[in-house]
Amino acid sequence: MTVYRYLFTGVLLILVWKGLSLVLSSTMLPSPEAALMAFAEAITTVEFWRHFLVSGYRVTCAMALAWILAFPAGLVLGFHRKTDTLLSPFVFLTYPIPKIVFLPIFLVIFGLGDFSKIFMIALIIGYQILVTTRDSVLGLDREYIDAFKSLGGTVVQTLQHVVVPAALPQAFTSLRIGTGTGIAVLFFVESVATAQGLGFFIMDSWGRFDNNLMFVGIIGMSLLGVCLYEIVNYLERHLCAWKFLKTARIDERPGHHGL
């Protein structure tokens, strides 16, 4: 079903693209046929895949780093009230600050290599995961925790069997949203002080007025985003299986037809 949805959306986008290309000049917006032919040619080259894999490596590492740092931190803030009282003001004071402005500082501290770009993306995605995880744990009915502890559950067991399962679905939702954010930030960081990645590929093509090749990079970055989105969906379905089992049971009720 997901494949058909993507195909339908792709066809719809191509039709809209075709309509706009007929209105605008080819120097402003190439036709979808020209761009897709250029893309088909580009994917046979080593250069395209080099840029694609570099971008994939950067954003995947950033998402993994964001999760490793932010999800446990969100659990601690939501579960331990004293820690939350101490640290949450700092989190919410710094949350509205556009983190992208720190990129020059990260380039100075960490150098022009991949880590400065990975850390930049991870910082932006991590804040979303941190806040969402904290709020989901705070919203958990404390009676569940007290009941589990009354049965002899330790703190570690409470986290493992009550708190983490309650926080995971919302954290994955945040990570899924962060996929789009991560791709957007990836484009920006690859436009600065680098000669590799799809962001560089797009801006380099734009600078050479090669619109077809520029759209090759745009299509490649879009496909990268779709791949990451589906990977997050896959992980969520396996790590939060109870969530989808509950949804399936609701859909199977008599008289329930869904959307």
Q: Provide the residue type at 164 as one letter.
A: V
The mean pLDDT value for 107-126 works out to 91
Which residues 6+ apart lie within 8 Å of 106 measured at CB?
Answer: 116, 119, 120
Q: Which two tokens stand for residue 72?
A: 């446990």
CATH code matching the domain that covers 39-244, chosen among 3.20.20.140, 2.40.50.180, 1.10.3720.10, 1.10.3080.10: 1.10.3720.10
Half-sphere exposure of 141 (CA within 13 A, CB side): 4
Predicted confidence (pLDDT) at residue 256 exceeds the cutoff of 80: no
Look at 166 and 155; give whichever has higher pLDDT.
Answer: 166
Quote the percentage of the chain above a pLDDT of 90: 47
Q: How far apart are CA 199 and CA 194, in angstroms?
A: 9
Q: What does each C-alpha distance from 65 to 49, 60, 123, 143, 156 come to in angstroms?
A: 24, 9, 9, 33, 23
Which residues 6+ apart lie within 8 Å of 127 measured at CB?
Answer: 70, 91, 94, 95, 99
Predicted confidence (pLDDT) at residue 1 exceeds the cutoff of 60: no
| Secondary structure (H, E, C), 150-173 | HCCCCHHHHHHHHHHHHHHHHHHH
Q: Provide the residue type at 34 as one letter.
A: A
| Each residue's pLDDT tens digit, 139-155 | 887 777 778 878 777 87
Owner of token pair 């090749």: 213
Which residues 6+ apart lie within 8 Å of 175 measured at CB?
Answer: 63, 66, 67, 125, 129, 232
Predicted confidence (pLDDT) at residue 253 exceeds the cutoff of 70: no
Q: Are 120 and 106 in contact (CB under 8 A)?
A: yes
The mean pLDDT value for 190-197 works out to 87
Closest CA to 39 of 10, 62, 60: 10
Closest CA to 60 of 128, 123, 122, 132: 122
Return the number of other C-beta atoms located less than 10 Å from residue 8's C-beta.
10
What's the pTM value of the predicted model, to 2 decimals? 0.84
CA-CA-CA-CA torsion sign (238, 243, 249, 251): negative
The mean pLDDT value for 178-207 works out to 91
